[in-house]
Amino acid sequence: MSQPLKLGFLASKNGTSMRAIMEAASAGVLAAEPRLVVSNNRNAAALEFAAGRGVPTLAIPTQGDPQGADRQLCEALEAAGVELVILSGYLRRLGPRTLGRYRNRILNIHPGLLPAFGGEGMYGRRVHEAVLAAGVAESGATIHAVDEIYDHGPLIERRTVPVLPGDTAEQLEARVAAMEPGFFIETLARIAGGELSLPD
């Protein structure tokens, strides 16, 4: 029997993976309870989407006082009973308090295969451009635990897609993006069901 995952989400814009995960949870496909959605951008569409589904939301700007924002985020996640944090296009580095409290319990999906196509500045279309420049036969997405270094934490799961002859970065990006939400949902379902364990 799956124990429902008590999820918190961090999103800066649309929160595409967050939306798919919430819909899977409400459809009974995924044993999960969305507890809180936080954005550094009070105009993020992700907040509006979550509020429309009755999930509590919070905007925490990070630029003026990063330490205060880190403390506020950690306390808000704890108060909501969040056990697993999902990054869904969250464009800010997390602070030490949140990273420490949720060590190996903050998951991100990266639109490339790690560790080869990750690191600071490797996000969005830049990843796909780098994959094409490297001439490799496949790309994909990697779900990893988040630590202090960009795209560095323990790898949880990965899924590949082919790089096709004549691919543009836009075409490869679309192929990876189409696969990501379902891959994230399946991985979370395996965690909920005890088939896949997170690092201690």
Question: Which residues are catalytic, by number?
Answer: 110
Q: Are 6 and 84 a contacting pair, CB within 8 Å?
A: yes
Give the chain's end-to-end CA distance (angstroms, integer).
Answer: 22
Q: Extract the tokens encoding 170.
A: 């836009």
Which residue from 115, 113, 181 is spatially nearest to 153, judged by alpha carbons? 115
Q: Are 35 and 28 a contacting pair, CB within 8 Å?
A: no
Give the strand pairing for 138-145 and 106-110. antiparallel
The Cα–Cα gap between 123 and 110 comes to: 8
Name residue 140's beta-bridge partners.
160
Q: Are 196 and 156 a contacting pair, CB within 8 Å?
A: yes
Q: Extract the tokens encoding 177.
A: 């993006």
